[in-house]
Structure 1
């Protein structure tokens, strides 16, 4: 059974989060020091997915005023397609503001997940990603409480 926990700085989980990134990507998009700096950020929140004691995925978000940006979402390869990414996304879907994210143009599975979570495409960023170079699709979930 998967358990979602909000990171509260209670342990140094940087190596475990970095291990998820290196499992998911051929080349991690962030270095271990970038993960550490991000996890220490005052405006950044991490939601962690555990199978028993093993960290199998995470969601990192940054909030500024009434906007949230999804910075990273990653689930270890052996645990993908089990609904864990949806469980992680559910942790922030009650946010009372707009939520933004970027996703690789070729990542149709992630785009489908975000569409199910009521995100819509709002634009592109040319050559946004590296290794390999690829455009990013910008997506937004608008808050309807206004």
Structure 2
């Protein structure tokens, strides 16, 4: 694989990010949602760029020392190469520099690949949100990762 560059998401990235969002999620965010989200001061959205193309992205909203990871996705044909892990590592590194010491996310209970990645990265299950997802209806596992302050 060529050199992967992790950087802050920009407006110009949104068409490629949206294409990955559409191929990944049954209820994708709109382009407008990404445009608005990257403009807020309390958000951090990153992209993984490979040979000038967006290979994946992730984002979070931060409130004081807590951050909620809103979405993470990698192009279908590039999954399994560590891109998601690299994105999350960088997201949490930058967030920690900005004072975030606790991260939370929701993940479909059937998404064992993602759950396994999150567990390897120190996330722990803290419960289930019944019927959190639609299309198809499914429970979400709530996961947290904390650092010592």
- Asked whether the two chains share a fold, i.e. TM above 0.5, the reply is yes
- How many residue pairs match? The answer is 142
How big is each residue's C-alpha offset from its partner over 1:75-113, in whole Å with a ceiling of 9 and x where there is no partner? 000100000001001103332410100000100100000
Contact 2:58-2:88 at 8 Å conserved across structures: yes
1:1-146 map, 5 Å: 1=2, 2-7=4-9, 9=10, 11-25=11-25, 27-94=26-93, 95=96, 96-145=100-149
Distance of 2:23 and 2:55 partners within structure 1: 10
Partner secondary structure for residue 13 of structure 1: helix
Any stretches of 5+ residues in structure 1 without a counterpart? Answer: none
Higher helix share: 2
How big is each residue's C-alpha offset from its partner over 1:8-38, in whole Å with a ceiling of 9 and x where there is no partner? x4x432212101112223x342122222222
Ranges of 4+ aligned residues in structure 1 off by more than 3 Å: none
* C-alpha RMSD of the superposition: 1.4
CA shift, 1:132, in A, is 0.8
Any stretches of 5+ residues in structure 2 without a counterpart? Answer: none
- Deviating more after overlay: 112-121 vs 28-37: 28-37
Distance of 2:86 and 2:121 partners within structure 1: 11
Distance of 2:107 and 2:13 partners within structure 1: 25
